[in-house]
Amino acid sequence: MTHASRSGSTDHRLPLHARIKDDLLRRVQSGEWPTDVPLPPEAELASSYDSSVGTMRRVLSELTAEGMLLRQQGRGTFVRRASFENSLFRFFRVQGDAEVQPASRILDRTTEPAGPQQAEALGIKTGSDVLRIQRLRLWGERPFLSERIWLPLPEFREVAMASETELAPLLYPAYERLAGVSVGRASEELSVAEADEPLAELLQVAAGSPLVRITRIATTHAGDIVEYRESFGPADTFRYRVEIN
């Protein structure tokens, strides 16, 4: 019961493996181990938590199954950084040319008071300060997605201040570097809408033509809300793939 008390806030009635898991998850997310530094070996971890190796293995297996850790026989246990920023590109496809690399261009960053929709999605009060990022994604010259992203302030003030190159090429790693927050999960909702004037111009389509709208709420693995995002793309070349289990 020495080091185990480090777990602090977790409920003491919970089984040992659950308390250890909560604490280890917290430490992993706090960045205690960079991705190239192995966690202590399971025997050492076990004794530091006053548990058996078997119980420790259970925790490590679960976190591995959930995608938080990577274990390699003979090498060690490593933190696996969120890699799913690419998922948008798993989902999106332009019919035909798969050769051209997608690019992204940040058009605008402003601080504004949160509207009711953004406030509800982010779990904050209407009127609180939020950072809004407007971004355009392109395949070569052709824009295929217009994104508006809202982040709560002051947590993400470093993202507001950063130079544009610091935000490239991907946003989620930048959140991690600048604000110390890592995205682990997201929930998206798709619907179909009509292009209004500004969107039509941005996406180079006719006003009134059908667009796909994707709203995304991104959270940490622990479930804390990170960002709210609303994206629009031309419906005609749109493909979205989902696996149901």
Partner DNA sequence: CAGTGGTCTAGACCACCTT
Partner DNA sequence: AGGTGGTCTAGACCACTGA
Q: Which is nearer to DNA, 14 or 207 (CB)?
A: 14
> Residue 112 CB, nearest distance to a copy of itself (Å)?
27
- CA–CA gap between residue 205 and residue 197 (Å, rounded): 10
Q: Which two tokens stand for residue 189?
A: 């909702």
Residue with tokens 């966690």: 39
Q: Which of 14, 43, 100, 190 binds a copy of itself (CB under 8 A)?
A: 190
84 binds, among DNA, a copy of itself, none (CB under 5 to 8 A by kind): a copy of itself
Query: Segment 36-75, which members bind a copy of itself (CB under 8 A)?
Result: 65, 67
Find the length of the chain. 245
Could you tell me which residues are beta bridge partners of residue 145? 137
Could you tell me which residues are beta bridge partners of residue 212? 192, 233
Q: Which is nearer to DNA, 18 or 186 (CB)?
A: 18
Does residue 33 interact with a copy of itself by CB under 8 A? no
Report CA 229 to chain centroid distance, whole Å: 11
Could you give the string, one character per residue 19-58, with x where binding to DNA holds by CB under 7 A and - elsewhere? -------------------xx-xxxx-----xxxxxx-x-
Return the range that interacts with a copy of itself (CB under 8 A); candidates 44-52, 124-132, 134-142, 237-245.
237-245
Torsion of CA 39, 44, 46, 49, to 10 degrees: -90
